Amino acid sequence: MKKGWRESSSQATRLQQQAVMSGASGGVQAYFQNKHPEAIYVHCYAHKLNLVLCHTCKAISEAAQLFNVLQMNAVLENFLAITGCLSCINTPLAVGLKAKLSHFHMVYLLHIFQELLSVTADFHQYLQKETIDLADAVAHKNAVTDSLEEKRSDATAADLHARTRAFCEANQVAFPEPRMHTKKRMEGFVVESTCGAGSEVCGSSESEELKRKWFFPCVDRMIAELEKRFSGVNEELLKGIQACSPTSDVFLCKPYLSGLAAPY
């Protein structure tokens, strides 16, 4: 701020969320708003999307382990070469890493995040552009959220499981052993139907279990993080900016414009 930046010509700031930038008392945005109360702080949208992905992974411990050691597409495309190389290295670290990669559940997680990150990839590239239109970023976020909600389905989960099994068959990864359930006898009662841990009808198959344990929680967390980090006063402001564009479907829409006018 001491190198010729004309503060009077700035109406908004877009910063990352580290304390030095976004701190409410000592951050750059606090200093700027102290001099220009009308200026609005907008957290960098590209950084927001990275936080969405990070916090989605943190919600599933197995996913966090996965991201610590690999990159999705590269591993799936070179799986045999990677595991073969780890076998040749044969150090304790290499042996442990190969054991993790050669586990059915780890391969399933690889396919989950390959699916989910394919939805956010275009949004991520858009947010990296120098010519980004922040108003359009809201529309992009909504499109990503809608796509994720569509993928949260039994059909997508079944397809992921089928692709994982096919991948494991082609790459010599063993399938998990089916769980054996001990039947319980109920003396003096007549059991007309079952709905216990061993019932396929109640969704206890391997595919259903993985869907409930990992796939749906990952999708739900990603959607929740998107809504959390791309909402609030900044979204209302950007909708107001969008309403100022003659090419927008909400051009001069009063409820949208009120969000832009409120801070001033």
139: nearest Cα among 221, 48, 249, 63: 249
* Per-residue pLDDT tens digits for 112-159: 988 998 898 888 888 877 676 666 777 788 899 999 999 999 999 999
User: Which pair of tokens denotes residue 49?
Assistant: 């999307």
Q: What is the pTM of this model?
A: 0.64
pLDDT value for 139: 79
Q: How many CA atoms lie within 13 A of 120 on its CB side?
A: 25
* Per-residue pLDDT tens digits for 60-115: 666 665 655 456 677 788 888 988 998 999 898 888 888 888 899 989 998 998 89
